[in-house]
């Protein structure tokens, strides 16, 4: 059972033509732990902001 599901999420910062996130798909299931890892500037914090509803996909 998915608690949260995202499909084909893309995001670009204001004034930037290149997406920092592109075509992200993921489902999060109850009772499981998830880690979001990646290099600096890869979009980890941006993804968390989108998941929390602090920003909207573009």
**This prediction's pTM:** 0.82
Average pLDDT over residues 13-42: 93
Q: Is 45 in contact with 21 (CB distance < 8 Å)?
A: no
Confidence of residue 32 (pLDDT cuts 50, 70, 90): very high
Confidence of residue 2 (pLDDT cuts 50, 70, 90): confident
For CA atoms 15, 21, 23, 24, give the dihedral sign: negative
Q: Which of 22, 24, 21, 48 is nearest to 34 (CA)?
A: 48
Quick one: 9 exposed, middle or buried, by C-beta within 10 A (0-12, 13-18, 19+)? middle
Query: Mean pLDDT score of the chain, rounded to an integer?
Result: 93
Domains of the chain: which residue ranges? 2-52
């Amino acid at each position: 059972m998915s608690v949260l599901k995202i499909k084909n999420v893309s995001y670009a910062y204001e004034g930037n033509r290149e997406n920092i996130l592109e075509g992200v798909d993921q489902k999060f299931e109850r009772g499981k732990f998830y880690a979001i890892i990646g290099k600096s500037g890869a979009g980890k914090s941006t993804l968390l902001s989108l998941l929390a509803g602090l920003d909207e996909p573009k």
